[in-house]
Structure 1
Amino acid sequence: MKPPPLILASTSIYRRELLARLGLPFATANPAVDETLLPDESPEDGALRLSQAKARAVADVHPSALIIGSDQVACLDGRVFGKPLTHPNAVRQLQAMRGRQVNFFTGICLLHAPSGRAHCRGVPTLVTFRDLSDAEIERYLQLEQPYNCAGSARSEGLGIALIARIDGPDPNALIGLPLIALCDLLRRENVSPLQP
């Protein structure tokens, strides 16, 4: 039996590149979801809720698909660091995170659109940032301009130079798509990149 089409509910080129590693055919769709956390919502709960919301947002357009939604929330001392959107916000985020350990919570959801069945998982990653000077922060932001990235740092690019250590169960989670968890969720829907 042919598996349903696979849709990545994301416009992120980095998530698309990660998913392509599995060798499965897929398409992408823009989920157009408000990524604001709810009042008193934990970063973990927010990442899971938003990953599911993104998958469900494209289900009407792709009612016969398996849809992948993913979202990430960065948190330090109970304070959430979302997408900075502006240069001054990014400077403030990186200044607050330098020399500190920051929790990045990545939520992933695989939605079987025909049945509405959703498999979700949260993947934590603890990132230790280098004790960066203001000049290093400014230089990084000028070069990479990561204003649409939670925590103002792209580990898949030059942002790796900001990081002293990464601890977590999936090296891909920090980039935004935990492939180890995704492979497990896909197997629950009888899809595997290793199937002949």
Structure 2
Amino acid sequence: MSHVHEISLNSSLNLPRPLVLGSTSRYRAELMHRLRLPFEVIGPEVDETPLAGELPGALALRLAVAKAQAVARQRPDAAVIGSDQVADLHGEPLGKPGTHERAVAQLTRMSGQTVRFHTAVAVVCQDIGFVQHEVAEVAVRFRTLTEAEIEHYLHAEQPYDCAGSAKSEGLGISLLDAIDNDDPTALIGLPLIRTCRLLRAVGMPI
């Protein structure tokens, strides 16, 4: 399914090609609105199962590129953005929990630990053979959490569609001791500094 996001600006935009976000994530769509560029949303059909022995950063990058390429095959004229995020607990990938029970298990394991979030972004334009990508790494130190804190947080925010079971842009910030990164929106799901760099490289005016 495709959705078009129109942006109203004082001056008209004359983009060199259509811009497509290859993602069904509402968080990434919300971040894309910050760039004030009209874009379309097309959900990619990609198997997100990790390969045997695949490290979290490599998994995030492979899936970001695969998502962009899958959508670019449908829209070869467009600049297509693909992105993926994988939480990394001591080398073990942690995905979206999906259920309350899995979220409890994730947060219990992450309590008092430093978790690295690998957020990859890729831009593909099939017509001109453009494929570039980058990965942002965010180190997140969790407080030592009680069972009651975990339950209260999960019932309040229900972050079951978020890798690592916490939304740093919301109440999840209360679970943390520190965040260390160089691209502030990477933890939310799309590193906009890197995204802008890739879009400029494909000829998009940012």
> Smaller-chain TM-score range?
over 0.9
State which of 81, 91, 109 in structure 2 corresponds to 1:96. 109
Match for 1:73: what amino acid?
Answer: V
Contact 2:55 2:92 (C-alpha < 8 Å) held by counterparts: no
Corresponding residue for residue 78 of structure 1: 91
What is the one-letter code of the residue matched to 2:148?
A
Task: Return the letter of the residue paired with 1:122.
Answer: V
Amino acid at match of 1:70: S
- Unaligned runs of at least 5 residues, structure 1: none
Task: Name 1:8's counterpart in structure 2.
Answer: 21
> Which of 153, 156, 166 lines up with 2:179 in the alignment?
166
**Structure 2 equivalent of residue 50 of structure 1:** 63
Contact 1:8–1:68 at 8 Å: present in 2 too? yes
Q: Secondary structure at the match of 1:106?
A: strand
Q: How does 1:101-112 map to 2 (within 5 A)?
A: 101-112=114-125
**1:39-63, Cα deviation, whole Å (9 max, x unpaired):** 1111111111000011111122212
**TM-score, with length taken from structure 1:** 0.94
Letter in 2 for 1:37: P
- Cα offsets for 1:13-58 (capped at 9, x unmatched): 1111111101111111111222221111111111110000111111
**Which residue in the other structure is 1:19 paired with?**
32
Are the equivalent residues in 2 in contact too, given 1:109–1:121 (CA < 8 A)? Answer: yes
How many percent identity over aligned positions?
Answer: 53
- Once superposed, which parts of structure 1, at least 4 consecutive aligned residues long, lie more than 2 Å away? none
**1:23 and 1:92, CA in 2 relative to 1: closer, same or farther beyond 3 A?**
same
Amino acid paired to 2:69: R
Secondary structure of 2:120's aligned partner: strand
Q: What is the match of residue 120 of structure 1?
A: 133
Work out the CA distance in 2 between the residues paired with 1:2 and 1:131: 48
Classify the secondary structure of the residue corresponding to 1:60.
helix
1:131 aligns with 2:135: no
CA distance in 1, matches of 2:171, 2:49: 27
Give the structure 1 partner of residue 8 of structure 2.
none
Query: Contact 1:183 / 1:192 at 8 angstroms: preserved in 2?
Result: no
- Whole-Å Cα distance in 2 between the matches of residues 39 and 192 of structure 1? 40
Superposed CA deviations along residues 56-114 of structure 1, whole A, max 9, x for unmatched, are 11122212100000000111112211111111111010001011110000110011121
Query: Aligned equivalents of 1:98 and 1:30: distance in 2?
Result: 33
Which of 182, 188, 194 aligns to 1:181? It is 194
Pairwise CA RMSD: 1.2
SS at match of 1:150: coil
Residue 20 of structure 1 aligns with an amino acid whose one-letter code is H
Rounded Cα–Cα distance in structure 2 between residues aligned with 1:155 and 1:31: 25
Deviation at 1:2, TM superposition (A): 4.4
User: How many residues are aligned here?
Assistant: 193
Distance (Å, rounded) in 1 between the aligned partners of 2:40 and 2:173: 28
Which 10-residue stretch deviates more, 29-38 or 129-138?
29-38
